[in-house]
Amino acid sequence: MGTVSRGRSDLLGSGGGGAGPFGVLRRALRLLEAVDRYAEGCTLAELSRALTMPEAAVRQLAEELETEGYLMCLDGVWALGGAFTLLGAQHREPLVRARLHHQLEDLRDELGAAVYFSRYHDGELSVEAVCSGEHAPAVNEWVDFRATAHASAIGKCLLAQLDHAARLDHLARHPVARLTSRTITETDRLLHRLDRQPATVPVLDLQEYSMDTVCAAVPIVAGNTVGCLATSLPVDQAYRLREAAELLTARATPLMLAMAV
């Protein structure tokens, strides 16, 4: 399983906007806005001055966005890419879903583990995309995920993004229940843990939903979306979870861009 090199992380981490995937997302959006201001296109040097970022960092970010179709480069001049022509109301959802599925497939292959994209919408948890395979099995949903947010990495990651009143409302409709010997069944203890969950640290499920599986989830924050990206491993591969969670965090930015733009 690969990890992000220090050189790449350092480049994407420069230029303001904060650390971690949210900082990268902010810088990417700033870059798109800057390119949009140049009707005839612009050079990396011009973008570097406009964003007060090192040119090498701008190049790295621009090339990432070019891969996704949001930017294009011709003879050293950067302009908005063809993906933006498809972002009208009737085209946006299929485009986003296609990009999401492609990115989840790539991430599944890189992790060697099943990956999930989930949202919290209209008071309920929804697993909207699962990418698994023969050697990357998905979690056996032996109890409905919608009713077990308190016990899963996905559920806890989504609940952590809600305010206190919304969490209480959810738990009133879906009371905590013991699924395994490791499940947190005290509401106060669960709420305390959610309050203390740092936004940049992956949420873990260590056999709280199933004794056969361990999971990790990281938030996806784009516009009004309350979402998360998650992965699961068979319990006999639990030793891989920390590295998988770190890679999940590093790869969350392209999904945030796909959902935000």
Name the residue with higher pLDDT: 247 or 40.
247
Residue 61: CB atoms within 10 Å: 25
Question: Where does 89-260 sit in CATH, by number?
Answer: 3.30.450.40
Nearest Cα neighbor of 77 from 105, 99, 47, 101 is: 47
Predicted pLDDT at 25: 81
Quick: pLDDT tens for 69-125. Answer: 788 888 888 988 766 655 554 555 665 677 778 889 989 999 999 999 999 999 999
pLDDT in tens, 29-82: 889 888 888 867 899 999 999 999 999 999 999 998 888 778 888 888 898 876
CB neighbour class for 252 (10 Å; exposed up to 12, middle 13-18, buried from 19):
buried
Rounded Cα gap, residues 71 and 193, in angstroms? 41
**Helix runs in 85-235, H state only:** 89-111, 153-160, 164-173, 187-195
What percent of the chain lies above the pLDDT cut of 90?
57
Residue 13 predicted with pLDDT over 60: no
Q: Is 195 helix (H, G, I), strand (E, B) or coil?
A: helix
Confidence at residue 108, expressed as pLDDT on a 0 to 100 scale: 95
Q: What residue spans define the domains of the chain?
A: 6-86, 89-260
Which pLDDT score is estimated for 29? 86
Checking if the pLDDT of 16 tops 60, the result is no
Higher pLDDT, 173 or 64: 173
Q: What is the side-by-side order of every strand in the sheet holding 213-222?
A: 124-131, 114-121, 225-234, 213-222, 203-206
Residue of 221, 213, 222 whose CA lies nearest to 244: 213
* Nearest alpha carbon to residue 101 among 258, 227, 219: 258
Task: Give counts: helices (H), strands (E), the chain.
Answer: 10, 7
Residue 167, pLDDT score: 96
CB of 207 closer than 8 Å to CB of 236? no
pTM of the predicted structure, to 2 decimals: 0.68
Please provide residue 254's backbone torsions phi and psi, each rounded to the nearest 5 degrees: -60, -35
CATH 3.60.60.10 correct for 6-86? no
Spatial contact of 136 and 104, defined as CB atoms under 8 Å apart: no
Better-predicted residue by pLDDT, 16 or 24:
24
